[in-house]
Structure 1
Amino acid sequence: MNSNSEIKSLLQKFVLNQCTPEETNEVIAYYKKNKLTEDFPTVEDIQDLLGEMPKMSQQTADSIFASILSSTKEEESVIEINSKKSNFKKYISIAASIVVLLGIGFAYQKDVFKTKTQPKFDFKSTDIVLQLENGNTQIISENNKVEVRDADGNVVGNQDGDKIVYDDNSALEKTTYNTIKIPYGKKFRLQLSDGTLVHLNAGTTLRYPVKFIAGENRQVFLDGEAFFDVAKDKKHPFIVNADALNVRVLGTHFNVSNYPEDAATDVVLVEGSVGMYRSNEEFDADKNTILKPGFKGSFNRENTLISTKAVITDIYTSWINGGLTFRNMTFKNIITKLERRYNVTIINKNEKLANEKFNASFSDESIEKVMSYFNDIHGINYTIKNNQILIK
């Protein structure tokens, strides 16, 4: 972190629980280096305050971060915050208290944030869930035709079956995020306020602005898999954040697969041009990886290197129309993807299979036909009872 603007940006993301692991490490390193001696809150204080953090206004956040940035100097001024004055010092201290939390254990810190701000979603449920920025949730039924409203009751879009279309004419003047969570066994579509169409695969979470604001990048956050048909807008780059990877475009068609069981995040470009770069870096067209149509870029999560190769793009986008493809994939990973696709439980008692690699492609087939293929071609024995598959 070489400038105050970079420090401020990372501190803001940290307090709002939006940092990647790499960015969190940068925040930790910054505070260790500067040896801040702010009046740390207790762990109990942090637990209590985390529930309040999402309610913090942008103006309040900016004031807090300005104070944090000056905390290594003599106190020069007092920042007035009208609401929750008694918590001001504690809010300032939360970012610094990462050092204290490290003493308790990084795993504890991670669990606190997840339980307080992001309750675990059961992907094996049957409900598509829409979460508003204030934490309220709505169940999305694919058979409905209803208006989509924000926390204040204002209409921001319309749902018609398996698609929500957001309205660019809503009165919103600041970036407000919704999060949609797609369970196993289902797919869904979103048309964002700029006209970008997003196909969401099973077991996917997408966090996105209800309305894109003029002068700001169009940024969304993806866990899982999605195909993006991005509306062209040269003034407002479209950025997909997939954990430690950013994918930057102006207008194009591409697929991003960012599932946790995979060793790499894959970007497959169908049309246009995209740039791939680490999320803790600034985009640089001269230095970053630029994909051409017909190529796949793979971001290795372990060493953060990006490699590219020519591919048949239809293989990687066939899921939109019900297809299923495995390329040089371990059976262990195939099981995970089958569970996600068909919302079934698979128990593998043949441990020798786990790390064997397979290639296979299916159209819109049932789980029974997929398992029959593995039995016929690879001699994998199994039984199916209700929603559970036992591999012997």
Structure 2
Amino acid sequence: MNENEVKELLNRYRSGIATDEDKALLESWYLNFEEAGAEGLSMEERLRAVDAAWQFLDKENTLVSKIKTWQRVAAAASVLVFLSIGTYFLINNKATSIVDTAHLANTKFDIAPGNNKASLTMANGRVLNLSKSQSGVVISAAKIAYNDGSKVDTAENHNTTAAEQLTLATPKGGTYQLLLPDGTKVWLNAASSITFPSTFAGLSQRRVELKGEAYFEVAKNKALPFRVSSPGQVVEVLGTHFDINTYADEPAAKTTLLEGSINLNNTILKPGQQAKVTANGISVTNADIDETMGWKNNYIVFEDEKIESVMRKIARWYNVEVVYEGEKPTDDFGGRLSRAAYVSQVLKKLELTNKVHFKVAGRRIIVTK
């Protein structure tokens, strides 16, 4: 098959309309790439064909470890191995592993993924442990209820017209949703907290405080601006969708705008932009929405990131401690992993890049090169 025929097959496969015959032809092309599939194609054309595979095949459960030496690039340019659709191949200057979770070997070190887990601290200091069988809470001056309408059992005395400060907090390995009194929706990531008033009635603004990471869909109210305070920054909106990542162990606070407009420390963001705030000021770039929203869509997504950055995401979601032994891996990693997978499955996929290895002791992950 020539390159155009290969791309057409890939297009049909990606669109879900490939026949059994199409799939057989595609698999045959992969299996015979060097001997037959690449016949008559220049090296550049070969790389384009393989790149087409990367563009069309589903990115779910993929791992990428960038290899920066010319020898590795040359090897990547001349080798293509196909075990099953999307199992393993090399493209351009990337060594890419695509692994089906079901094929991974189980280990005795499995740590379950995070789940719905949070606590709600009342104005009087009382802490309510919220149900793990529920996904979120609805706050109003009259009551506190779960998303399905059932009342939070231990909040029966909550009934006030005065604004009281409440705090919803998730531990490592926890996530929860929140519906504020004004209709604003909040998704709270692991190891995060949000402090907010029980009612916005009688207030001049809708102000909340965030630590960690949350995604907001703010209800529109031009007369009552919505402000999110977090360390080193204040985000002001009227009604919009955005994500704020202010984890203390990250090098910068990141605010990503998906819809509408926001004012961050007097800097206006447009949809698709991300602002990074450090001690040196604010920088605005085009956002990687897939990476930013990965956690909300139940994925761990990373693109051109060092292993330390990847492991911080894993540590928060799986509630584990990460330590490094010896020399740290220096390669850049990129990929998408399901947050529903057990930690052994996630680590095994990373190890398949041959750029990093792990040992697990209890809830401690030891990282080696």
Deviations 1:169-207 (A, max 9, x none): x96443311011101112100000000000000000111
Compared with structure 1, are the counterparts of its residues 317 and 368 closer, same or farther at alpha carbon in structure 2 (3 Å cutoff)? Answer: same
Q: Is the partner of 2:348 in helix, strand or coil?
A: helix
Q: Is the partner of 2:250 in helix, strand or coil?
A: coil
Contiguous gaps of at least 5 residues in structure 1:
1-123, 278-287
Q: What is the correspondence of 1:211-360 to structure 2 with a 5 Å cutoff?
A: 211-277=199-265, 288-300=266-278, 302-303=279-280, 305-353=281-329, 357-360=332-335
Q: What is the correspondence of 1:8-47 to structure 2 with a 5 Å cutoff?
A: none
Compared with structure 1, are the counterparts of its residues 289 and 145 closer, same or farther at alpha carbon in structure 2 (3 Å cutoff)? Answer: closer
Give the superposition deviation at 1:382.
Answer: 1.6
Give the superposition deviation at 1:328.
Answer: 4.0
8 A contact 2:115–2:132 mirrored in 1: no
8 A contact 1:164–1:191 mirrored in 2: no
Q: Is the partner of 1:143 in helix, strand or coil?
A: coil
Question: Quick one: which amino acid aligns to residue 268 of structure 2?
Answer: I
Q: What is the alpha-carbon root mean square deviation over aligned residues?
A: 3.1
8 A contact 1:147–1:155 mirrored in 2: no
Q: Is the partner of 1:316 in helix, strand or coil?
A: helix
Q: Report the number of matched residues.
A: 249
Deviations 1:305-329 (A, max 9, x none): 1111112323211211211122443
Compared with structure 1, are the counterparts of its residues 376 and 147 closer, same or farther at alpha carbon in structure 2 (3 Å cutoff)? Answer: closer
8 A contact 2:205–2:227 mirrored in 1: yes
The match for 1:131 is 121
Contiguous gaps of at least 5 residues in structure 2:
1-113, 153-157
Does residue 1:366 correspond to 2:342, yes or no?
yes
Query: TM-score, normalised to structure 1's length?
Result: 0.57
Give the superposition deviation at 1:264.
Answer: 1.1
Distance 1:145 1:187 in 2: 8
Deviations 1:236-294 (A, max 9, x none): 000011112001100011000000111211111111111100xxxxxxxxxx2111111
8 A contact 1:126–1:183 mirrored in 2: no
Distance 1:273 1:213 in 2: 24
Does residue 1:375 correspond to 2:337, yes or no?
no
Compared with structure 1, are the counterparts of its residues 191 and 126 closer, same or farther at alpha carbon in structure 2 (3 Å cutoff)? Answer: closer
Compared with structure 1, are the counterparts of its residues 163 and 197 closer, same or farther at alpha carbon in structure 2 (3 Å cutoff)? Answer: farther
Distance 1:311 1:146 in 2: 28
Give the superposition deviation at 1:342.
Answer: 1.1
Distance 1:146 1:226 in 2: 13
Compared with structure 1, are the counterparts of its residues 149 and 329 closer, same or farther at alpha carbon in structure 2 (3 Å cutoff)? Answer: closer
8 A contact 2:117–2:176 mirrored in 1: no
Between stretches 246-255 and 172-181, larger displacement belongs to 172-181
Deviations 1:205-238 (A, max 9, x none): 1111111123411000000000000000000000
Q: What is the correspondence of 1:115-194 to structure 2 with a 5 Å cutoff?
A: 128-143=118-133, 155-160=142-147, 172-194=160-182
The match for 1:63 is none
The match for 2:367 is 391
Q: Is the partner of 1:205 in helix, strand or coil?
A: strand
The match for 2:93 is none
Identity %, equivalent residues: 29
Larger Rg over CA atoms: 2
8 A contact 1:162–1:188 mirrored in 2: no
Query: TM-score, normalised to structure 2's length?
Result: 0.60
Give the superposition deviation at 1:379.
Answer: 2.7
The match for 2:38 is none
* Structure ranking higher on relative contact order (CA contacts 8 Å, 6+ apart): 2
Between stretches 249-258 and 363-372, larger displacement belongs to 363-372
Q: Is the partner of 1:198 in helix, strand or coil?
A: strand
Distance 1:335 1:146 in 2: 27
Distance 1:147 1:249 in 2: 23
8 A contact 1:163–1:188 mirrored in 2: no
8 A contact 1:163–1:191 mirrored in 2: no
Distance 1:362 1:372 in 2: 11
Distance 2:232 2:130 in 1: 30
Distance 2:137 2:263 in 1: 35
